C-alpha cells in the first residue's frame, strides 16, 4: 500500500541533526534531500501515468518516501488542520479529528526520463471519513534549485526597481503575477502562499499536466479555470477549504497556449515567470523569437515602471549533437551556448530596449545567474532598475541585488538563503 495508517518508527535516510541554533526554519527542499526523489522506478510508486497529445509524451507522477518532517511533528500539523476547520466551520466534534498519513516526494516525469518537477505532499484524512484522504502540496518546500534561483533573483530585482514588495507581502497591495508553464505548480503556489497580495495567473498548454498536478501532486483544484473564464469547481469541498482557504482564491490556472493567452489578455503584470519546456526538453522558439507576436505582446503586458520577467533556461537542441547527446566540451558548461545568449538578447532587447514603452534603454536591466547543482540559468529582465554609477558597473548592480535579497529573506521568512542564487555566475546582459 502507498499509505499505511499504522505509524512506525522506520527511518528513511536518517540524518544527524545539528544541535546548533539555526537562523531560519529548516529547508525541507534542500538539495541534500535530492537522493530521496532522484531515484529509480523500483524505488518509487507510480500514482499516475498517461499519454499526452500536446507533445509531452508519456506523463507520469512517481511517489517516493520522505524522511522529513518526521512523525514527531505530525501532531502539530493535525492541530493546525483542526484549528483551520474550526475557523471555517465552527465547533468540531472531538471524535472527528484530522489525522496525518504521512509525507511523500512526488516527481512529474515526461517520457520516463525528464523530471519536469518535484514537490513534497502531505496526506491527511478525517476520522469521520477514514476511506477518503486529501493530498496537499507543501508550498514552502521548493525541491528543485532553479525555482529558488528564479524566486531569489526575480524578487530581488523587482524590489530594486522601487517596487514596494512589503505591501504586497502583507496584502496591503495587489501584486499581479503570470506563470507560463505549470508543471507540478510549486512556483505559483509558493508565490501565492508567501505573498498575501499575489494574484497569480498560470498558463499550461497540456490538460494532462494540469490534471496530474491537481490529482497526484496536491495542487488546489479550485484554481482550475474553464475556457469560459469560470472556475471549473464552483465551490471547494470541505477539505480543500481547510487546506487552501485564503490562497486558492488567488490562483487561476488556465489551459491555454502561451502565445494565445498573451495576445488575448489585457491584464498588466508586475512579474512574469516563464518555465515552458516540452517533452523533448525544448523551449519553443516562438517564446523567444524577438520578432514573434508573443514577445511583443508580453512586453505590452508588463508594468512600465517595474515590470520584471524571469525565465528558466537550460540546454536545447541547438547545442546538442545530431544524435541528441551533448558535446564533450559542453558537458560541464551546459547550458551556456548560443541558445541561451540568443534568448537573453531577445528578452533584453524587446522588454527594456524599447524607449517608448519603458522610459529609455538605460531604465532597464538584464542579467543571468547560474543555478547550483543543476545545468540551469535564470534570466531576469526588469524595468526601472536604476543604480548610481550606471548599469555598466557590475559590482554595484550585484551589491544592490544582494542587499535586497537580505531584506527579502527576512520579509518572507524564507527557509533558504537567496545569496547563493544571486552571486553564482552573475552576468549582466549587454
Tell me how far apart the alpha carbons of residues 62 and 39 are, in angstroms, rounded to a whole number. 10
d(CA 237, CA 241): 6
Handedness of CA 68, 71, 72, 74 (dihedral sign): positive
Asked if residues 255 and 214 have their Cβ atoms less than 8 Å apart, the reply is no
- What does DSSP say about strands 364-370 and 427-428: parallel, antiparallel, or unpaired? antiparallel
Please report where in the chains the cell 502565445 appears, as a residue: 259
For the chain, which residues make up each domain, given as ranges?
A: 31-137, 145-428
Q: For strands 251-255 and 98-110, give the pairing.
A: unpaired
Q: Return the CATH number of the domain spanning residue range 145-428.
A: 3.40.50.150
For the segment 298-330, what is each residue's pLDDT rounded down to a tens digit? 999 999 999 999 999 985 444 444 454 444 444
CB 63 within 8 Å of CB 45: yes
Q: Which helix (H) or strand (E) holds 397?
A: helix 394-412
In this structure, how many other beta carbons lie within 10 angstroms of the beta carbon of residue 355? Answer: 12
Give which of 194, 182, 78, 49 is closest to 136, Cα–Cα. 78
Q: What is the separation of C-alpha 39 from the centre of its chain, rounded to a whole number of angstroms?
A: 22
Cβ 57 vs Cβ 279: under 8 Å: yes
Peptide bond into 69 cis (omega under 30): yes
Strands (E), 181-258: 198-204, 224-225, 251-255
In 10 A of CB 190, how many CB atoms? 25
318-321-324 Cα angle (round to 5): 90
Distance CA 184, CA 28 (A): 17
Give the pLDDT of residue 277.
80
Distance CA 364, CA 352 (A): 5
Q: CA–CA separation, 136 vs 120, rounded Å?
A: 8
d(Cα 177, Cα 188) in Å, to the nearest integer? 9
User: What pLDDT sits at residue 38?
Assistant: 83
Mean pLDDT in order along the chain per 10 residues (430 residues): 39 34 73 86 87 92 94 95 89 78 95 89 91 93 96 97 94 97 97 98 97 97 94 92 96 96 96 85 86 94 97 63 46 51 91 55 81 91 76 83 94 93 92
Beta-carbon contacts of 233 under 8 Å, excluding residues fewer than 6 positions away, are: 221, 222, 224
The model's pTM: 0.88
Tell me the C-alpha distance between 104 and 135, whole Å.
Answer: 10
**What pLDDT score was predicted for residue 353?**
80
350-370 residue pLDDT tens: 999 844 344 444 468 999 999
Q: Report the interhelical angle of 293-300 vs 338-352 (nearest 10°).
A: 40
Give the per-residue pLDDT at 130. 84
Burial of 287: CB neighbours in 10 Å, binned 0-12, 13-18, 19+: buried
- Please name the residue that has the C-alpha cell 540551469: 376
Note the pLDDT of residue 94. 65
**Helical residues (DSSP H) of 133-203, grouped into ranges:** 145-159, 165-169, 186-194
Cell of 11: 527511518
| Residue at grid coordinates 520577467 | 309
The pLDDT assigned to 93 comes to 66
What is d(CA 383, CA 372) in angstroms, rounded to the nearest whole number?
26
**Inter-helix orientation angle 186-194/145-159, to 10°:** 40
Q: Are strands 271-274 and 175-180 parallel, antiparallel or unpaired?
A: parallel
Max CA separation in the chain (angstroms): 66
Q: Which three cell numbers stand for residue 172?
A: 496591503
Work out the angle at residue 226's Cα, subtended by the Cα atoms of residues 224 and 227, and round it to the nearest 5 degrees.
Answer: 140
The string over 217-244, giving b where at least 16 C-beta atoms fall within 10 Å of a residue's C-beta and e elsewhere, is: bbbbbbbbbeeeeebbbeebeebbbbbb
Long-range contacts of the stretch 328-337 (C-beta < 8 A, 24+): 334/375, 335/375, 335/376, 335/377, 336/377
Amino acid at each position: 500500500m502507498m499509505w499505511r495508517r499504522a505509524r512506525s518508527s522506520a527511518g528513511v535516510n536518517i540524518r544527524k541533526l545539528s544541535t546548533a541554533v539555526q537562523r531560519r526554519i529548516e529547508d525541507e527542499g534542500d538539495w541534500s534531500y535530492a537522493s530521496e526523489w532522484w531515484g529509480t522506478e523500483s524505488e518509487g510508486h507510480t500514482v499516475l501515468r498517461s499519454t499526452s497529445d500536446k507533445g509531452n509524451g508519456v506523463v507520469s507522477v512517481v511517489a517516493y518516501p520522505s524522511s522529513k518532517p518526521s512523525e514527531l511533528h505530525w501532531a502539530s500539523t493535525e492541530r493546525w488542520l483542526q484549528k483551520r476547520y474550526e475557523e471555517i466551520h465552527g465547533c468540531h466534534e472531538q471524535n472527528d479529528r484530522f489525522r496525518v498519513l504521512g509525507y511523500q516526494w512526488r516527481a512529474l516525469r515526461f517520457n520516463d526520463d525528464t523530471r519536469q518537477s518535484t514537490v513534497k505532499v502531505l496526506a491527511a484524512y478525517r476520522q469521520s471519513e477514514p476511506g477518503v484522504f486529501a493530498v496537499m502540496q507543501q508550498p514552502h518546500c521548493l525541491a528543485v534549485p532553479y525555482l529558488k534561483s528564479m524566486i531569489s533573483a526575480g524578487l530581488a530585482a523587482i524590489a530594486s526597481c522601487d517596487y514596494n514588495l512589503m505591501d504586497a507581502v502583507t496584502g496591503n497591495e495587489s501584486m499581479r503575477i503570470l506563470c507560463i508553464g505549470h508543471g507540478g505548480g510549486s512556483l505559483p503556489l509558493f508565490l501565492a502562499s508567501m505573498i498575501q497580495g499575489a494574484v497569480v495567473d498560470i498558463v499550461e498548454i497540456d490538460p494532462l499536466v494540469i490534471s496530474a498536478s491537481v490529482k497526484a501532486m496536491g495542487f488546489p483544484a479550485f484554481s482550475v479555470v474553464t475556457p469560459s473564464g469560470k472556475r471549473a469547481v464552483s465551490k471547494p469541498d470541505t477539505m480543500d477549504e481547510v487546506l487552501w482557504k485564503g490562497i486558492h482564491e488567488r490562483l487561476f490556472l488556465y489551459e491555454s497556449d502561451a502565445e494565445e493567452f498573451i495576445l488575448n489578455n489585457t491584464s498588466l503584470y508586475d512579474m512574469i515567470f516563464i518555465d515552458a519546456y516540452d517533452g523533448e526538453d525544448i523551449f519553443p522558439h516562438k517564446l523567444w523569437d524577438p520578432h514573434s507576436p508573443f514577445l511583443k505582446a508580453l512586453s505590452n503586458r508588463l508594468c512600465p515602471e517595474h515590470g520584471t520577467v524571469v525565465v528558466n533556461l537550460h540546454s536545447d537542441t541547438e547545442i546538442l549533437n545530431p544524435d541528441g547527446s551533448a558535446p564533450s566540451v559542453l558537458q560541464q558548461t551546459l547550458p551556456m551556448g548560443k541558445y541561451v545568449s540568443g534568448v537573453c538578447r531577445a528578452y533584453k532587447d524587446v522588454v527594456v530596449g524599447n524607449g517608448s514603452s519603458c522610459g529609455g534603454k538605460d531604465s532597464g536591466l538584464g542579467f543571468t545567474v547560474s543555478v547550483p547543482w543543476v545545468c540551469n540559468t535564470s534570466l531576469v529582465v526588469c524595468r526601472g532598475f536604476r543604480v548610481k554609477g550606471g548599469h555598466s558597473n557590475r559590482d554595484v548592480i550585484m551589491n544592490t541585488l544582494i542587499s535586497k535579497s537580505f531584506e527579502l529573506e527576512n520579509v518572507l521568512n524564507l527557509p533558504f538563503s537567496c545569496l547563493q542564487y544571486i552571486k553564482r555566475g552573475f552576468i549582466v546582459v549587454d
